[in-house]
Amino acid sequence: MASIAPNTLYQVRYARTLTSVEKEALVTLYQPIIGADALALYFIFLGDGQTSKEHTHLDLLHLLPIGLTKLLDARKKLEGIGLLAVFEKETDAFGLVYGYELRLPLTPEHFFSDTTYSFLLESVIGERRFQELLTRYTPKTIHWDGFTEITQKFADIYRFDLTRYGQNMEKFETISTHFPSEKTKLTVDQTLDFAFLAFHAHKKQISKENFTPEFNQQLALLHQLYGYDELELVEFMTQIVSLSDGMVKINELKKVIQARNAQTQKIDKSKQNQPLDEAKRIEALKQSGFSDTDILVIQESEAYPPYDYFSAIKREKKSYISKLEEWLVRELVERSRLNNSVINILLHYVLVVKNNSTLPQKLVEKLAADWSEKEVKRPEEAVQLVRKLDKESKLAKEARENTPSRYAKPTKTEVVPKWLEQQEKEKTSPKKQTETTTAQQEELDARLAAYLKRKEGET
């Protein structure tokens, strides 16, 4: 991403204005996660988007005087949570121009139905406050005990031409596509063979009605995160499938898979994606300057899915995986657009090279965002970036150590009297040194003669 100057132009666009429910969700649900600066920036963009006029980032800094660095951090938080999409265009007249497209926040119902958002919110505000919000937004069940419902049916009140309705059905279905579902689209690789998976699931009495786009998206995430193939996912589903209707609850499936990983943490070697010609690749890596250790790290990064790779590192460090770390790894897989092997190199750098006992959230998110922008696709590219980061870190440390601290006390220079300087010169003059040496030698000779005389008297 090119650097942004205060005079860099931008435009803001959005599909529609927010409802009162969506504004409330921004303040009560999103704000604890993204922070006050990011929330303020979102509302400023709402105002800017009311016209097609271009603005400068200096205009933003006048409205939100937090400095350009913090302003860009706030913008990235909006991007990461799915509230902002960023575009850029090079123009002859104004240079680089940015486009900011505001995305609608999830309503409370959709927010709490997403396990990732719920977990993140609870980790920030704590369980007590989270339960309060959950109670506020959970739809209430209304009871009319003793009452009999006499509501009129739609068909009894509204009459229309069914023939004309059928003739215009295609038109109204097209209109409906302009209003997509609010559910968040996950950016995971679609590498599963869903036709193959559904075929074997049907043989296990698992209904085909399960395999909606949202359900398949979650299956793809589980495949990428834990490394399970189609048949293994079907076996997990058979453990929790409802015998009455053949339906599978995705949250129950996640719990079963996570429990299995917590118990075994085993890797099926047949699933390791080895390059077609490993010997040639290793030779090419060596010629490119990669050490044997680098090559081993690259090979291991390609052999394991991120969760298992991360678990192996934690076991080596005799540590355990916290809930926040589990969420961070899932976020890397789900939203970072990085390949599994690149994610593994990132984890190796943070935990092994930097020797952190836990995953630092800010560092992980910063690296993931940076590598995503640089479109890092292969683990060797990630290793080169790690080398550069490590070198820069060491140089910065040496510079800090060699630079006097501004808090260090200045050395006081004593003023020596002239008479004392003259006395010191006389002490160190060649003539004086010769006299001193002669006197010391005479004294030493006298002491030695006395010692020998005493020895003669003793014999």
Do residues 289 and 259 both lie within one domain?
no
Non-local CB neighbours of 74 within 8 Å, separated by 6+ positions: 34, 35, 37, 38, 40, 41, 64, 66
Which range marks the domain in which residue 6 is found?
1-140+158-184
Do residues 45 and 175 both lie within one domain?
yes
The reply to whether 86 falls in a domain is yes
The reply to whether 335 falls in a domain is yes
Do residues 245 and 312 both lie within one domain?
no
Last residue of a domain, one of 217, 235, 264: 264
DSSP letters for 145-205: TT----PPPHHHH----HHHHHHTHHHHHHHHTTS---SPPP-----S-HHHHHHHHHHTT
The reply to whether 220 falls in a domain is yes
Instruction: Say how many domains are in the chain.
Output: 3
pLDDT at 445 (0 to 100): 61
> Does the reported pTM lie above 0.85?
no
Query: Alpha-carbon distance 28 to 408, whole Å?
Result: 47
The first and second tokens of residue 209, run together, are 């009605």
Do residues 255 and 348 both lie within one domain?
no
Answer yes or no: are the C-beta atoms of 75 and 82 closer than 8 Å.
Answer: no
Do residues 73 and 164 both lie within one domain?
yes
The reply to whether 80 falls in a domain is yes
pLDDT tens-digit profile, the chain (459 residues): 457 888 899 999 998 888 999 999 999 999 999 999 999 999 999 999 888 888 999 989 999 998 888 999 999 999 988 899 999 998 888 888 999 999 999 989 888 888 778 878 888 888 899 999 999 988 888 888 888 888 777 666 766 565 665 666 677 667 766 665 554 444 445 567 788 788 888 888 899 888 888 788 788 877 877 778 888 888 889 888 888 889 998 888 888 887 776 655 444 433 444 444 677 778 788 888 888 888 888 888 888 888 888 888 888 888 888 878 888 888 788 777 788 889 999 998 888 888 888 888 888 888 888 888 888 888 888 888 888 888 887 787 777 777 665 555 555 555 555 555 565 555 555 555 555 556 655 665 665 555 555 545 555
pLDDT at 406 (0 to 100): 56
3-state helix, strand, coil in the chain (%, to 5): 60, 5, 35
Query: Alpha-carbon distance 326 to 316, whole Å?
Result: 17
pLDDT at 355 (0 to 100): 85
Do residues 218 and 73 both lie within one domain?
no
As to burial, measured by CB atoms within 10 angstroms (0-12 exposed, 13-18 middle, 19+ buried), residue 234 is buried
The first and second tokens of residue 218, run together, are 């979650």
Do residues 45 and 115 both lie within one domain?
yes
Do residues 19 and 123 both lie within one domain?
yes
Do residues 240 and 281 both lie within one domain?
no
pLDDT at 421 (0 to 100): 59
CA distances, 329 to each of 73, 348, 364 (Å):
21, 12, 9
The first and second tokens of residue 427, run together, are 């002490």
pLDDT at 78 (0 to 100): 92
Answer yes or no: are the C-beta atoms of 85 and 79 closer than 8 Å.
Answer: yes
